[in-house]
Structure 1
Amino acid sequence: MVVKTSGHEWHNYFLFKIITIAIVTIFSVLSTTTIIYTIACIYIGRDVTFNKCMQVVINIWKRLTITLLFIFLIIFTYTRSVSLAFILCNVILDVHKFRLLSILVILLLVLALYMFGFMFYCIVFHLAIAVSILETSYGKNAIFKATYLMTGKKKAALMISFVLYECLVFIVYVMYMHLSMYNDLELALVWRVVIAIVCGVLVVMIFLVIMVTQTVLYLVCKSYHHEAIEVIQFERPQNQPVFQV
């Protein structure tokens, strides 16, 4: 049975998606800015208040949004490029009639390279967000600065990120998907709800740990390159913006 969808329903659907994306973006900018600014203030030994955090959000949200747009474009391009490479590998392997073991090895190699690149870009993007908030660079300049800051700390950053993202994958795909959504163990509804709530809390905690860890990584990279954290960025005269663009 084919269910027809009217134009009005499609209009409501896309309107709902746009509103959802806008709300998620607003809260992402708010939470990200607050966390990074708070950790930086703690690192340099400065007091931080809710009003100061809100003032920072008001002054840098445009710059951070531009950086997030560049990040989205890079992720979109990278994902599409890897997908195309994966399809080409499948076509080539099918034409030349490789053995099944050889096909699996090549596809796993492509997948491993994709995961390595994706994790590397995630670290760079987190650092770029920190640069956009704590420095005057934003957009592509923030991404270039983040790539430079990672020099010398790539192994440590990759190891930390690998552990944190593995915990996130375990919570989402093992605990939530199999135990709550698909109910592989045939649990009662009340236990599925409890597991879903616990997984939600754990995911929020993991995301907070990731944000804090990446901010500390940014500060460590700044110290590694002998770049001082400019205290003046956190001290402003009355009626002056927190950051000068």
Structure 2
Amino acid sequence: MDRDQHELQFLGFPGVYRESSKIILKWRKIFAQITLALILPLCVVFLAHSLVSHLLTFRIVDHEDDRDYASEGSQSYRDLSHALKKEWVAFWLTMLGYFIFVFIFSLLSTSAVVYTVACIYAAKQITFKKIMSVVPRVWKRLMATFLWTFVTFVAFFVVAVALLIGWVVIVSAFLVGSGLAIAVLVILLILYVVVFVYLTMIWQLASVISVLEDVYGRKAMVKSRRLIKGKMGMSVGCFLGVMLWSALVEGLFECLVVLDLVQGIGIKIAGGLICLLLLLMVVLFDLVVQTVIYFVCKSYHHENIDKSSLSEHLEVYLGDYVPLKANSVQLEQLHV
């Protein structure tokens, strides 16, 4: 990262994108190794799950339709019921395996990329072997932060469902006009999206904090909320940009591979490989962007990270990963 710390605070989301691109291009060898080792399995499973879940869902729907037309108690009905039980078991086992795999490799990928960008920032020598030795020691901190985030999202979804049920009850009980009912529903949907995006950004920044500092879990989320103040617009722009590209890649994969909108196995294979390559780039870019946002927010709040101290805390000492400590690198406040 060639920019001076003071300059980072002035970056908007286009500047963050440019800085992230420069980092990836300059250190493309090490990022390529991380991508092949950690991000590639994550993306392969993500796309494969999209295809497999689609096939299982359509098979279940077809068999349920066939069973509806079969006479209850007939051999055909029993065979279809037995097949449906197996398919539902396969569906939920696939979902469980998918979430476990994605959960683990997401944490490992985040650990590797955040640590790498921090080493680049500190002008510290890094090798792929060293990165892979550090990753298993820091992912537990990320897991603690994820669990707190999960609890927060569950509470958010419960409140959202409660508000939706309340809206339905009020509309039904008081015969609210359709215009007013739709207006209230639109407001609720907007609030839902705003809070969802906000919580996601808090989670992403908290993940970076969990790797680079000595706080994690709830404390990392609290600190993330404080750091993101003043840079909300930049963070939202970065988040929405990456989300847009992710949605485009997923939509392209659905059209070319999942939904049979194109004919020919060769075209499907080529389309799948192109989507995989694009998704690899999007995921890597997103993780680098999240780390750059951390340094931008630090700079914005005039919290100066000493590069030599950061380098020391990134060292693996006697096999133990030493994160940034709040009292030593916590960044002395620069009063301007």
Give the aligned residue type for 1:187.
V
Q: Is the 8 A contact 1:153 1:221 kept in 2?
A: yes
What are the within-5 Å matches in structure 2 for residues 146-185 of structure 1? Answer: 146-173=224-251, 175-183=252-260
Q: Aligned match of 1:79 in 149, 154, 157?
A: 157
Q: Is the 8 A contact 2:113 2:287 kept in 1?
A: yes
What does residue 320 of structure 2 align with? 241
Instruction: Render the CA deviation track for 1:21-45: whole Å, top value 9, x for unaligned.
Output: 4333332222111111111111222
Q: Which moved more, 1:227-236 or 1:7-16?
A: 7-16
What are the within-5 Å matches in structure 2 for residues 44-55 of structure 1? Answer: 44-55=122-133
Counting matched residue pairs gives 241
Find runs of 4+ consecutive structure 1 residues off by over 4 angstroms.
Answer: 5-20
Q: CA RMSD in A?
A: 2.8
Q: Return the alpha-carbon distance in structure 1 between the equivalents of residues 175 and 191 of structure 2.
A: 23
Q: Which runs of 5+ in 1 are unaligned?
A: none
Give how far 1:123 is off.
Answer: 0.9
Give how far 1:178 is off.
Answer: 4.4
What does residue 209 of structure 1 align with? 285
Query: Structure 2 vs 1, CA of residues 141 and 5 (structure 1 numbering), >3 Å: closer, same or farther?
Result: farther
Please tell me whether Structure 1 or Structure 2 has the larger radius of gyration of its CA atoms. 2
Q: Return the alpha-carbon distance in structure 1 between the equivalents of residues 163 and 264 of structure 2.
A: 43
The secondary structure found in structure 2 opposite 1:147 is: helix
Q: Is the 8 A contact 2:315 2:322 kept in 1?
A: no
Q: Is the 8 A contact 2:255 2:262 kept in 1?
A: no
Give how far 1:149 is off.
Answer: 0.7
Q: Return the alpha-carbon distance in structure 2 between the equivalents of residues 106 and 74 of structure 1.
A: 25
Instruction: Render the CA deviation track for 1:40-97: whole Å, top value 9, x for unaligned.
Output: 1112222211222123223222222111111122122212321221222123223333
What are the within-5 Å matches in structure 2 for residues 1-245 of structure 1? Answer: 1=67, 2-4=80-82, 18-173=96-251, 175-183=252-260, 186-190=261-265, 191-229=267-305, 230-231=309-310, 232-237=312-317, 239-243=318-322
Query: Structure 2 vs 1, CA of residues 242 and 75 (structure 1 numbering), >3 Å: closer, same or farther?
Result: same
The secondary structure found in structure 2 opposite 1:73 is: helix
Q: Is the 8 A contact 1:93 1:103 kept in 2?
A: yes
Instruction: Render the CA deviation track for 1:202-231: whole Å, top value 9, x for unaligned.
Output: 223222221111110011111122223341
Query: Structure 2 vs 1, CA of residues 9 and 180 (structure 1 numbering), >3 Å: closer, same or farther?
Result: closer
Q: Is the 8 A contact 2:134 2:316 kept in 1?
A: no
Query: Structure 2 vs 1, CA of residues 92 and 172 (structure 1 numbering), >3 Å: closer, same or farther?
Result: farther
Q: Could you tell me the TM-score, scaled by structure 1's length? A: 0.84
Query: Structure 2 vs 1, CA of residues 22 and 3 (structure 1 numbering), >3 Å: closer, same or farther?
Result: same
Structure with the greater relative contact order (CA < 8 A, sep ≥ 6): 1 or 2? 2
Q: Return the alpha-carbon distance in structure 2 between the equivalents of residues 103 and 196 of structure 1.
A: 43
Q: Return the alpha-carbon distance in structure 2 between the equivalents of residues 8 and 171 of structure 1.
A: 32
Give the aligned residue type for 2:320.
P
Indicate the percent of aligned positions where both proteins have the same amino acid: 29
Query: Structure 2 vs 1, CA of residues 194 and 39 (structure 1 numbering), >3 Å: closer, same or farther?
Result: same
Q: Which moved more, 1:57-66 or 1:192-201?
A: 192-201
Query: Structure 2 vs 1, CA of residues 97 and 13 (structure 1 numbering), >3 Å: closer, same or farther?
Result: closer
